[in-house]
């Protein structure tokens, strides 16, 4: 923004406020404020006109809707800086984009602090993590967008932000308890419990805080209140982890509350199991048989970006409680920016999770030996999510004992010779339609089954793409499936369409792109210039400008990274056909266009001859 314009501050963590020079600005009529709020929920991201229309008129737009929207945007541009406001709110093929700097938005700052807190927690810096979490929570002035929940779309956004607040609050409470700050937690947790009475992780922190402050009677009453509430409202009992907390409380033993509320030896640290996990029955059976066999082992889940490897791994881990009584934990192998985490950071997280921080040596080799020594004789299931390479996994294998390690990766990690490998391919069409129906509702799915089929096909039959498409359709309840399918069918805007809130297919593909070696990127760029994602060896040879053997080696390298798949073809002329997921093909085409001025032509000219 030009330097002469006053600094703006956008606040959505509470009622919508825009400040200029420390003074609030008048934001105009309700619908104008709704437009600004929707843009702020997706800063620096194209927001489709249909989504703005849904927020304003909820499926019943007037004939002048687009004209009215243009009037609101023009007024907002003036409000946000006169002539400079045109640079603030841009219009393109994907919709309107509000440009917001990281220091201008309380929501962006909240996410930044939360990420930094989680990273500090992973490295064992508890004091720093607690401070970052607390700073993030202090940005809130009340429920998100509290004055604009008259819009269903914004009410759903506010609910999502409320979940993010709750996650950070629970992380702060658990970290503060480990630092001995039980009174600070006990003083504030009651209000959070009143708003979220069925949240067991929150209740575990409350019970621990009360017990450590000497308020044992209140801690017992808090557990009993939750037990009765779960029974009355849901017909359920408290989870095994919370029952363990209660047992320790009755026994007067020490309580170490963590994310699961369990003691360190039996720590369960897994994301929630997806309620709508679809398909994958064959892979689930195979994983349960291999991991639950009793002898321990190493399993690699490999598949293309967006195939749902992590969701599958978490689903299986939730079903292996009896087989791994000493703990089931997921450790992310990459930092927030997608870069591989240092070995020391991962080992520090394991030490913190399982309660042997004080015994962890500073030397990485000695730290690895300490981890293996602790794990020996125990039964732990370790999920290593998004492993960058074999070396990152090798140093974390427990060694002796009956532990198991389940790895998700974008490549097959061929260097892990003893691993059992399970492929996670894209969905079949029936599986893809089942997931889409669970998200948007079967009635809507069946209202136009042909269009629904086109939607999942255009999303590449990948769970991530289907989930993004389904989420977007859920928010755009007025949009016919056929019209949305037509939008997804446009090559130049498909990746723009497959973005909703924090989910974006393009950003995930960019992470996989960064993992590829330079020659493989050049090969993928050249394949992006092909007219279709399915191709023969001869077509690949023509695109790459290489001989048969070099082309085969180049394709096999991409198959190792789960970027290209191959399948037999009934045609005698072409016994094998290769295929890129549609979204990968279009992403590669974008990269080819960026690499060569004027489009994808000429990519072959910069392709290394030894592309293997």
Closest CA to 515 of 544, 555, 557, 556: 557
Closest CA to 136 of 153, 121, 148: 121
Residues 6+ apart with CB under 8 A from 234: 198
The Cα 364–Cα 355 span in angstroms is 18
The 8-class DSSP code of residue 301 comes to E
Question: Which residue ranges in the chain fall short of pLDDT 70?
Answer: 1-6, 82-86, 241, 248, 250-266, 276, 294, 355-360, 400-401, 569-574, 594-612
b/e burial code for range 421-430 (CB count within 10 A of at least 16 → b): ebebbbbeee
Tell me which residue has tokens 């950070």. Answer: 168
pLDDT at 603: 39
The Cα 426–Cα 309 span in angstroms is 10
What pairs with residue 423 in β-bridges? 302
Q: Distance between alpha carbon 536 and the CA centroid of its chain, in Å? A: 34
Could you tell me if 406 and 287 are in contact, meaning their C-beta atoms sit under 8 angstroms apart? yes
pLDDT at 216: 83
Tabulate helix, strand, coil % of the chain (nearest 5): 55, 10, 35
* Order of all β-strands in the sheet with 267-269: 267-269, 327-332, 381-387, 404-409, 297-302, 420-423
Give 321: exposed, middle or buried? Use CB within 10 Å, 0-12, 13-18, 19+: middle
Both structure tokens of 81: 């800086």
The Cα 210–Cα 5 span in angstroms is 51
The Cα 602–Cα 556 span in angstroms is 23
**How big is the chain, counted in residues?**
612
pLDDT at 369: 85
The 8-class DSSP code of residue 168 comes to H
Tell me which residue has tokens 């029974």. Answer: 231
pLDDT at 356: 65
The CB-based long-range contact list for 233-238 (8 Å cut-off, 24+ gap) reads 233/198, 234/198, 238/200
Q: Is the dihedral of CA 521, 558, 461, 406 positive or negative?
A: negative
Both structure tokens of 31: 């619908």
For the stretch 348-404, pLDDT in tens is: 888 877 766 556 677 778 888 888 888 877 888 999 999 999 999 998 888 766 889
Closest CA to 480 of 431, 504, 505, 445: 445
Q: Distance between alpha carbon 159 and the CA centroid of its chain, in Å? A: 17
2 SS3 class:
coil
The Cα 27–Cα 80 span in angstroms is 10
The CATH architecture annotation of domain 281-423 reads 3-Layer(aba) Sandwich (3.40)
The pairing of beta strand 420-423 with beta strand 297-302:
parallel
Class of the 8-102 domain?
mainly alpha
Residues 6+ apart with CB under 8 A from 214: none
Residues 6+ apart with CB under 8 A from 415: 389, 390
Of the chain, the end-to-end C-alpha distance in Å amounts to 46
For residue 414, the tally of other CB atoms under 10 A from its CB is 12
Tell me which residue has tokens 């023009």. Answer: 74
296 SS3 class:
coil
CATH topology of domain 106-267: 1.25.40
- Helix (H), strand (E) at residue 269: strand 267-269
496 SS3 class:
helix
pTM for the whole structure: 0.64
Residues 6+ apart with CB under 8 A from 16: 27, 33, 36, 37, 40, 145, 147, 148
Angle at CA of residue 41, ends 454 and 486, nearest 5° = 15
The Cα 553–Cα 556 span in angstroms is 5
138 SS3 class:
coil
The pairing of beta strand 267-269 with beta strand 327-332:
parallel
Both structure tokens of 593: 């266009």
The CATH architecture annotation of domain 516-606 reads Orthogonal Bundle (1.10)
């Amino acid at each position: 923004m030009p330097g002469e314009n006053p600094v703006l501050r956008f606040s959505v963590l509470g009622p919508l406020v825009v400040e200029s020079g420390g003074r609030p600005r008048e934001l105009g009529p309700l619908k104008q404020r709704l437009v600004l709020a929707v843009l702020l929920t997706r800063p620096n991201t194209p927001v489709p006109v249909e989504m703005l229309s849904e927020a304003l008129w909820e499926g019943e737009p007037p004939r002048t809707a687009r004209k009215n929207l243009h009037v609101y945007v023009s007024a907002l541009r003036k409000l946000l800086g006169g002539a400079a406001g045109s640079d603030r709110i841009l219009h393109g093929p994907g919709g309107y984009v509000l440009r917001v700097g990281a220091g201008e938005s309380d929501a962006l700052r909240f996410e930044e602090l939360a990420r930094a807190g989680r990273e500090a927690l992973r490295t064992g810096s508890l004091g720093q993590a607690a401070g970052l979490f607390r700073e993030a929570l202090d940005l809130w002035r009340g429920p998100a967008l509290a004055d604009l929940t008259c819009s269903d779309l914004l009410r759903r956004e506010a609910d999502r932000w409320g979940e993010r607040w709750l996650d950070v609050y629970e992380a702060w409470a658990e970290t503060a308890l480990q630092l001995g700050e039980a009174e600070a937690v006990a003083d504030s947790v009651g209000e959070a419990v009143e708003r979220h009475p069925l949240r067991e992780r929150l209740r575990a922190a409350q019970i621990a805080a009360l017990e450590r402050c000497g308020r044992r009677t209140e801690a017992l009453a808090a557990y009993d209140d939750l037990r009765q509430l779960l029974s009355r409202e849901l017909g359920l009992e408290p989870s095994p982890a919370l029952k363990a907390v209660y047992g320790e409380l009755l026994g007067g033993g020490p309580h170490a509350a963590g994310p699961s509320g369990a003691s360190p030896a039996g720590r369960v640290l897994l994301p929630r199991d997806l309620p709508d996990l679809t398909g994958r029955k064959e892979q689930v059976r195979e994983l349960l048989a291999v991991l639950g066999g009793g002898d321990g082992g190493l399993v690699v889940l490999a598949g293309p970006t967006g195939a749902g490897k992590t969701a599958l791994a978490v689903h299986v881990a939730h079903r292996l409680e009896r087989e791994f009584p000493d703990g089931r934990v997921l450790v992310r192998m990459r930092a927030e920016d997608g870069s591989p985490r240092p070995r020391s950071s991962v080992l520090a997280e394991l030490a913190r999770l399982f309660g042997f921080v004080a015994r962890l040596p500073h030397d990485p080799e000695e730290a690895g030996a300490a981890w293996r020594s602790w794990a020996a004789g125990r039964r732990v299931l370790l999920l290593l999510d998004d492993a960058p390479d074999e070396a990152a996994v090798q140093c974390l294998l427990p060694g002796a004992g009956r532990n198991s390690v389940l790895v998700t990766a974008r490549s097959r990690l061929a260097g892990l010779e003893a691993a059992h490998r399970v492929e996670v391919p894209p969905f079949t069409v029936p599986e893809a339609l089942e997931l889409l129906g669970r998200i948007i509702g079967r009635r809507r799915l069946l209202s136009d089954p042909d269009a629904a089929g086109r939607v999942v096909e255009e999303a590449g039959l990948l769970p991530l793409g289907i989930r993004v498409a389904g989420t977007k359709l859920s928010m755009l309840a007025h949009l016919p499936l056929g019209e949305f399918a037509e939008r997804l069918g446009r090559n130049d805007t498909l990746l723009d369409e497959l973005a909703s809130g924090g989910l974006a297919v393009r950003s995930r593909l960019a992470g996989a792109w960064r993992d590829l070696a330079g020659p493989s990127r050049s090969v993928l760029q050249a394949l992006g210039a092909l007219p279709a994602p399915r191709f023969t060896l001869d077509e690949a040879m023509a695109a790459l400008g290489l001989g048969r053997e070099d082309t085969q080696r180049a394709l096999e390298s991409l198959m190792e990274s789960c970027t290209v798949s191959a399948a037999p073809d009934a045609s005698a002329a072409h016994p094998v056909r290769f295929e890129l997921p549609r979204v990968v093909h279009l992403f590669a085409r974008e990269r080819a266009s960026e690499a060569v001025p004027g489009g994808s032509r000429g990519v072959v000219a910069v392709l290394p001859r030894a592309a293997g």
